[in-house]
Amino acid sequence: MPAPTDVNIPAPSTLAMPSPGLPPFDYLCPDDPDEVVALLLQHGRSARLLMGGTDLFVQMRDGALAPRVVIDVKRLPGMRELSFDPADGLHVGAAVNMNALAAAPAVQQFYPLLAQAVASVASYQLRTRATMGGNLCNGSPAADTAPAALVLDAQCVVWGPDGERTIPANNFFLGVRKTALQPGEFLTRMEFPVPPTGYAGRYIKLGRNAGGDLAIVGVAVLGYPETSAASGYRFRFALASVAPTPIRVPEAEALLAEQPITSGLLSQAALAAEDAATPINDLRGSARYRKAMVRNLTRRALDDVWNQLQAEG
């Protein structure tokens, strides 16, 4: 199954001695999406899907996963295509690698927030293999591209036993390593609607060091002018690494829509983000530090977005 719902995966760092190699598996590379569905249904939990493998192989080596069948879906039609249409928005095949995604002119021009989030993942070398689809399907609370997907209202298009269906990114993450994918389903592309006119966005990732760490905290903020809102603006907030899944912060969003925007209100929104965060203590950082960082970095991102909006408006 693409995303098992009941497998308890121990955190790799609690395992004492990972093995030097990967456990044995069969590698399959079907060219028909329905064959993938059939294989997934046939093998159930002993099959895993493969794109860049930067999560899958690491988990297999750590002993957290031992699939008998690995199904490579990178070569299926459309999986590595990226297109932009001014009316329809951006379509990104699930297996488009992150460097290609971040470098695409349409992404640079219309979705700089997405480019920022993608560029914050690991290193350039790793991003030649890693995919955004894999980042979302892996279901990690720390997925750096998830907050961008949430605030950009991305849609996850999946193929399954009943053909195609669409899951909003906002409903995609159900828990640690749990996504909304059903048995036999797999992700084929992400669709990003045309963003609101005049919007500004920012993703801030805090790692222990600047190069290639997983996020202690990730904060995405997107804002745009909106006449229907009392404040004249709407904002969207999403956080990574501070809850069992990447989360939106509706409380902060409501605050900033309802009242005229002042510095004090921006602070209140940052506090609302802090309140929404329910982080744990782990090797990367304490819950206390994480909560403070959600507040401070939300404020920093918000200031940045607000300044951009005012400069444009």
Ligand X SMILES: Cc1cc2nc3c(=O)[nH]c(=O)nc-3n(C[C@H](O)[C@H](O)[C@H](O)COP(=O)(O)OP(=O)(O)OC[C@H]3O[C@@H](n4cnc5c(N)ncnc54)[C@H](O)[C@@H]3O)c2cc1C
- Binding of other proteins by 13 (CB under 8 A): yes
Residue ranges in 23-42 that form contacts with other proteins under rule CB under 8 A: 24
What percent helix, strand, coil does the chain show, rounded to 5? 35, 25, 40
- Binding of other proteins by 87 (CB under 8 A): no
Alpha-carbon dihedral of residues 87, 304, 219, 93, nearest 10 degrees? 30
Question: How many of the chain's residues bind other proteins (CB under 8 A)?
Answer: 35
> Of all helices (H) and strands (E), which one includes residue 298?
helix 287-312
- Binding of other proteins by 205 (CB under 8 A): no
Backbone φ and ψ for 231, nearest 5 degrees, come out as -80, -15
- Binding of other proteins by 311 (CB under 8 A): no
143 binds, among ligand X, other proteins, none (CB under 5 to 8 A by kind): ligand X
How far is CA 150 from each of CA 64, 167, 191, 233, 306, rounded to the nearest angstrom?
Answer: 28, 12, 12, 18, 19
Question: Which stretch in 164-172, 188-196, 248-256, 292-300 sits in contact with other proteins by CB under 8 A?
Answer: 292-300
Q: How many residues does the chain have?
A: 313
Block residue for tokens 């389903």? 185
Residue ranges in 15-54 that form contacts with ligand X under rule CB under 6 A: 48-54
Q: At what angle do helices 250-258 and 263-276 cross, to 10 degrees?
A: 160
Shortest Cβ 124–other proteins spacing (Å) = 11
Among positions 293, 301, 305, 309, the unique one binding other proteins when judged by CB under 8 A: 293
Residue ranges in 118-137 that form contacts with other proteins under rule CB under 8 A: 123
Residues that bind ligand X in the complex, under the rule CB under 6 A = 2-3, 48-56, 58, 73, 94, 121-122, 126, 129-131, 133-135, 137-138, 142-144, 181, 186-187, 212, 214
